[in-house]
Amino acid sequence: MKRTPKAKAGGAGRARGRPALTAGQVADMRAHVASRALELFRAEGYASVSIRRLASEAGCTPMTLYQYFENKFDILRMLWADVLGDLFDRLDEVGVGEPDPAVRLGALAEGYVEYWLEHREDYFLVFMSGGVSQDDVSLFMGDAALLARFDVFRSCIAEALGARARPEDVRVKSEVFVCGLNGIAQGLVTLSGYPWAGPRPLVRELTARILGR
């Protein structure tokens, strides 16, 4: 059993030696590394950027990276927040000023799919970097705060269906809608050689069917 001197009973007395890293210090360093990592991963791909290289670009030793990140994949995970944040920030702008929820839903959906088509590398970063390992994959995008941003689609569908819609219907429709969008993005991005009808027709069809038009 290792003793943790910091956690002495009472907690009033200061520890003796150098204090451990502040949560803020850790966050700053992680952000700093993630920033450099995002540039490098986007430019050269996740697999092509080595830990040793990233460390030297970030101005530290490989070993130091392992102080702040569990492993290389852990660095990648930090970037999901940035990418998804960027995506949904754009979608928020798309949706504003459109009173008709059905029209707004269509615009959001198109924006969502087209974002991934315009940022294919980011799609791979977010949706296709977990496989192979078979571990920690069920945690995919497991951050609740990130997940919550998908609610724009849900609330839009709820509004379009009106107050008379049953909540369970709204739920199922929302999940099918988001899954459908992800499936369309997956198809167009990963199977780019296939002669798809195109993003707009597919998204329009999905939106129209979900809303029952």
In the bound complex, what is the minimum distance in angstroms from residue 50's beta carbon to DNA?
3
Report how far Cα 28 is from the mean position of its chain's Cα atoms.
20
The angle, 0 to 180 degrees and rounded to 10, between the axes of the packed helices 120-127 and 101-118 is: 90
CA dist 66 to 4, 21, 61, 210, Å? 21, 14, 9, 46
The listed partner (its own copies, DNA, none) that binds 8, CB under 5 to 8 Å by sort, is none
Instruction: Kindly state whether residue 63 participates in binding DNA, applying the rule CB under 7 A.
Output: yes
User: And the tokens for 55?
Assistant: 């460390």
The answer to whether 104 and 98 have CB atoms below 8 angstroms apart is yes
> How far apart (Å, rounded) are the C-alpha atoms in residues 182 and 200?
14
Instruction: Kindly state whether residue 145 participates in binding its own copies, applying the rule CB under 8 A.
Output: no
C-beta of 59 vs 201, nearer to DNA: 59
E strand or H helix at 55, and its extent?
helix 51-58
Which of 1, 9, 11, 16 binds DNA (CB under 7 A)? It is: 16
Which of 53, 171, 200, 209 binds DNA (CB under 7 A)? It is: 53
In the bound complex, what is the minimum distance in angstroms from residue 110's beta carbon to its own copies?
14
User: And the tokens for 191?
Assistant: 């199977």
The answer to whether 84 and 126 have CB atoms below 8 angstroms apart is yes
Which of 12, 23, 132, 145 binds its own copies (CB under 8 A)? It is: 132
Report how far Cα 3 is from the mean position of its chain's Cα atoms.
37
C-beta of 31 vs 139, nearer to its own copies: 139
Instruction: Kindly state whether residue 50 participates in binding its own copies, applying the rule CB under 8 A.
Output: no
Instruction: Kindly state whether residue 80 participates in binding its own copies, applying the rule CB under 8 A.
Output: no
Instruction: Kindly state whether residue 69 participates in binding its own copies, applying the rule CB under 8 A.
Output: no
> How far apart (Å, rounded) are the C-alpha atoms in residues 4 and 1?
10
Residue with token string 């609610």: 151
Instruction: Kindly state whether residue 137 participates in binding DNA, applying the rule CB under 7 A.
Output: no
The answer to whether 159 and 101 have CB atoms below 8 angstroms apart is yes
Segment interacting with its own copies (CB under 8 A) among 61-69, 90-98, 100-108, 196-204? 196-204
Interface positions with its own copies (CB under 8 A):
45-48, 121, 124-125, 127-134, 137-142, 147, 168, 171-173, 175-176, 178-184, 186-187, 190-194, 196-197, 201-202, 205-206, 209-210, 212
Interface positions with DNA (CB under 7 A):
4-6, 13-21, 29, 49-53, 60-64, 66-68, 71-73
